[in-house]
Chains A and B, each alone.
Chain A
């Protein structure tokens, strides 16, 4: 047998051993394939910034057809729903305090009469600002509704109002502006990073703690073979996971897929390699499993926060924006969102793919060197 074939055989044995170890008990197997699907479903629904059917507390002092028309305009928009009504403004305050309503709408007495006389009645809108995003959108929607109604009333009541500039806005890639379409692909990236870090970061340190690392060292496996044996199974599992959850995402959530699957696969391989090598790096540095876990966690926390997953990178302070360039998840999210939503190709995504390639190559090289040094 030539040296190369013997080496291949050794790596294969090692891969088989690793796989057996990962799938030894049912709980681990469930963890590997069940957890990603469960997380996809939970997170796919949870990460949602759409502001619809905002609970609105109504205090209508006017109780006329005119005031009802105003309330109808609010509810018919789909952005607001009436969650409670009362005659006393104090009840409105209590509902906002309790959180049973997010918005309070108070229509003054004499509203209809004022409209007819052209006296511009003022409608009060009280917004709960604790969630600043919801607050901003809700007050924006309310202003738009009132403005449209204003124009409509002016036309029907024959008040001559000159027409000015009209804004016609249109959104590309996601005309109904549903946040889910944007977030589900990102959830895929987050889950894959989490799983590949989890599977590798304990790989070496565990053998060390249990004492089997010495057994591996006295075996004929070289350091490179050992590392290949550790990474190949995880890389395959991670690829299987990403295929699985992408399929589930496409079937379950109504997410468009406009780009090339090939390009996404290339991006995914690079992303997984950089994640794996980072996990392996942690694993060689740590002395105990606890330490490895903590290090992984301390990497994962900022990686998720600084990726553009939950809120756009553009809104971060400049320093953090530059920091995100070191984050493989940020680049992969741009790739996966670009492929899913915009149908982007290599022409647009080459910078992200270059970053990922550099990180994957650097990670694998660094981890190999670290690995050899530890053994």
Chain B
């Protein structure tokens, strides 16, 4: 390992990146664009659920119930229809997500204290939305029903629940998405930037020129990685700042700790990218492998949107191979929870192992000597 040669290699790579407008766009323009795009497009807050109402009672009391749904903010009453059949047709065509049916005699039964059933029919195809709608509906009903019966007095219940939400008090999906996006975006950028770097040398024939120089494998790999690590750190800083400025994402933890773990993540991800391109050698396959191996796992197996805890055990095992999994835990832990090494040490250990592995594989598989 010669520092001078390593430095020369890094400079060469940096000059190549700087001269290639596509690499520059990829490195500097794409990450903030992706953050803004995803940050605004991905909203998981279920609000304004479209509801059709079939009010068979048509009394002041039944209108009050409908009003309770409409004013909750969770439901929008888009249609008042006369028959259940019409409403069901709307449900089949997904024009509405649910149908609220109020029976004849609602007002009378309610006043007699015998209890009235009100039916909510949901489009269960989208189970998650249906589940949330059900949750909201029963909360509205509970509040409304008690208020009605007790004649406007404060609703009382035998047991009270005092719910509190930590880390994200208003349960805004944005605060869950922005820190996770850092990990997803950086996985993509790292894989795209590096998976082509060595394959490019092969296909353009410049590998022979590299082979003719006295540079060793370790120097080539580390020299190639250095500019990308620098770019990656810059990107993460940019995304974090943009997240705080545009989306109001909290930052409760330590900047230093985030930087150290980001460095580890980048070395691993970039090393893995170099490994893929060195092992595969054809650009076509390199791109395909990089895509299958990074983008979808980072999006789906990292815990970014889908809880790892609700996956089957074997899949939970597989998520340990997805580096974004650790990094999502790190960015969320530091930004939202404000936790430090005492909680995140396990992630740190895994990320060190992963960085070592990525670098090791890249160096081992990179064969500088030309094949016959």
Contact = CB atoms under 8 A, between A and B. Distances in A.
Contacts of B148: 164-165
B141 interface: yes
A248 interface: no
Interface in A136-195: 136-137, 139-144, 146-147, 149-151, 153-154, 159, 161-175, 177-179, 181-182, 194
Contact of A182 (B50, B127, B137): B127
B247 interface: no
Nearest to A28: B285
B124 A122 contact: no
Interface string A101-133: 010000000000001001011111111111111
B42 to A, nearest CB: 6
B19 to A, nearest CB: 14
Contact of A312 (B92, B129, B136, B315): B129
Contacts of A291: 22
Contacts of B110: 164-165
Contact of B135 (A27, A115, A144): A144
A311 B47 CA distance: 13
Contact of B192 (A48, A96, A154, A294): A294
Interface stretch (B219-227, B329-337, B348-356): B329-337
Nearest to B34: A301
B16 interface: no
Interface in B231-283: 283
Given A97-B337, A143-B161, A165 B128 contact: no
Interface in A2-52: 27-28, 31, 35, 39, 42-43, 45-52
A294 B290 CA distance: 12
Interface stretch (A233-241, A262-270, A313-321): A313-321
B166 A132 contact: no
A85 interface: no
A337 interface: yes
Contacts, number: 321
A273 interface: no
Contacts of B200: 290
Contact of B337 (A55, A118, A130): A130
B114 interface: yes
B203 A172 contact: no
Interface residues of B, number: 110
Contacts of A370: none
Contacts of A169: 119-122, 134, 137-138
Contacts of B38: 305
A166 B117 contact: yes
Interface stretch (B1-9, B171-179, B208-216, B363-371): B171-179
B301 A46 contact: yes
A341 B174 CA distance: 30
A348 interface: yes
B41 A337 contact: no
B283 A121 contact: no
A366 interface: no
Contacts of B118: 165-168
B165 A135 contact: yes
B309 interface: yes
A165 B137 contact: no
Contacts of A53: 310
A306 interface: yes
Interface in A44-87: 45-55, 70
Contacts of B115: 163-166
Given A125-B163, A198-B291, A311 B125 contact: no
A362 interface: no
A39 B300 CA distance: 11
Given A289-B283, A289-B284, A130 B167 contact: yes
B309 A102 contact: yes
B59 interface: no
A97 B334 CA distance: 10
B158 A118 contact: yes
Contacts of A130: 167-168, 175-176, 332, 336-337
Interface string B44-85: 111110100000000000000100000000000000000000
B159 A50 contact: no
A294 B22 contact: yes
A310 B157 contact: no
B205 interface: no
B306 A46 contact: yes
A154 B301 contact: no
Contacts of A147: 138, 142, 157
Contacts of A179: 127-128
Nearest to A343: B92
A291 B23 CA distance: 10
B292 interface: yes
Contacts of A173: 123-125
A1 B289 CA distance: 45
Given A42-B318, A311-B42, 5 more contacts: A118-B158, A125-B162, A127-B165, A170-B120, A294-B26
Interface of B: 22, 26, 34, 37-38, 40-48, 50, 65, 91-94, 97, 110, 113-132, 134-139, 141-142, 144-146, 148-150, 156-173, 175-176, 188, 192, 196, 200, 203, 283-285, 287-288, 291-292, 295-297, 299-301, 305-307, 309-312, 315, 318, 329, 332-333, 336-337, 339, 343
